[in-house]
Amino acid sequence: MSIKQVVLKIPAVYWKVLYFVVAIIVCWIEAQGRSDFTIYKMASRDLVNGICPYSHSYIDGYYYYYSLFFAYLIYPFTLLSEFSSTFIWLMINAVLLYFIIIEIYNFLYLNQFDKEKRFLIIGLIILFSMRTIRENFHSAQVTILMLFLMLYSLKYLLQEKYLLSGLFLSLAINIKLLALPLMAYYLYRGLWKVVFWGCVFLVLLYFFPLIIMDKNFYGLCMHEWWALVNPSNDKHLIDVEERSFHSITTLITTLFMKNPPDIYALPIRRYIVDLSVEHVKWIIQLVRILLISSVILVIRQLPFQKFKNQYELFFEFSYVLALIPLIFPHQQHYAFLLQMPAIGILIYHWINGKIPKWMRAFLIAIFLCFNLKILLGVWNEYYDHFKILTYGGLLVIGLLIKQSFDLMEKV
């Protein structure tokens, strides 16, 4: 009996047990020491003690960017030890990641395939995403939670549970503004009930802290929060404060400025031409507009038109999610986990022979751009210097557009 036959005969329940055993081990290891979750807890303590969490930085100059509601929500974690609280938070993320994989499985209709093909598709999705998954656990970030909330918003939308769909979307937006493009997509699609409930819950979540906080203190906190996240700030455009930043704002800055304010830059040329700061800002905004407008190439319908089927909606949804880490500033490696559904679609088409041979080279390039840090970590500083993760994200977008033209009418 071959190894493949042995693997395929293993009952599904054993794979689930293996997943959670591995998750416990990983969470135990990653719960040692400080992480981004440490910053969240410090901000939560400050807020409860009447100190604005947005007015000062925390560990190594990092700021708290998330909502007041989220800071209150995680306050119980501050009552536990550093290790215990982080371990529980990571285990919650492991459970949410499990449900994310299940939902991608369902949205791709993998039940229609034999066990070998199902196993191969899910295995490749996890393999392609292993670096972004690892970075989320290493940093104890919120991206897994965000992806879970957005996927379940789509799930409840398709089940016509519009109140729940709006609630999950509003939670995602409230925690982190990265989810706003999904609300814009729902609006374009004319999904009025979800948009209505999303707006209602969003208002409630933003004003909920007023039940606990003094009005003046709340106003101060919101003012300081906006000062941090205001997209017109120069630091959100010339976005090279850290070597590990990846997005269009960072990539374009490194390509069109000879000496950007990047103290971590290697003494290796990466710019194409040296332009002024103002010209670079204009290019960044233009490329952002082009990327956002590219959604129309995938939808190819006028606003407020009803979607044809579940797969079409999931395809468009995945494209919108894949754009998020590219168009928003200050994006770290872990944010590209949001491209996991899009990568799942590409792998689905690859395994089903719907991607031409010449495009498979681009899939390999995507895998390498996403995972070289794990495969050949000795050159990490070079990968970050040349922003190869951003190129991988752009390739995902390009292949999805190509697939939308080739296949959407046939699915």
* Residue-by-residue DSSP string for 359-393: HHHHHHHHHHHHHHHHHSGGGHHHHHHTTHHHHHH
Distance CA 355, CA 252 (A): 30
Max CA pair span of the chain: 72
pTM, two decimal places: 0.94
C-beta of residue 258 within 8 angstroms of C-beta of residue 274: yes
Please, is 33 exposed, middle or buried when counting C-beta atoms within 10 Å of its C-beta (0-12, 13-18, 19+)?
exposed
User: Quick one: pLDDT at residue 291?
Assistant: 95
User: Quick one: pLDDT at residue 411?
Assistant: 47
Distance CA 138, CA 57 (A): 21
User: Quick one: pLDDT at residue 2?
Assistant: 67
Distance CA 320, CA 333 (A): 18
> Tens of pLDDT along the chain (411 residues)?
566 666 777 777 888 899 999 999 999 999 998 899 999 999 999 999 999 999 988 987 788 999 999 999 999 999 999 999 999 999 999 999 999 999 999 999 998 888 888 889 999 999 999 999 999 999 999 999 999 999 999 999 999 999 999 999 999 999 999 999 999 999 999 999 999 999 999 999 999 999 999 999 999 999 999 988 887 666 656 666 777 788 898 889 888 988 887 777 788 888 899 888 888 889 999 999 999 999 999 998 888 888 878 888 999 999 999 999 999 988 889 999 999 999 999 999 999 888 888 888 999 999 999 999 898 878 888 888 889 999 999 999 999 999 888 765 554
For residue 24, the tally of other CB atoms under 10 A from its CB is 14
Distance CA 243, CA 311 (A): 37
User: Quick one: pLDDT at residue 178?
Assistant: 93
User: Quick one: pLDDT at residue 322?
Assistant: 97
Which pair of tokens denotes residue 120? Answer: 């191969």
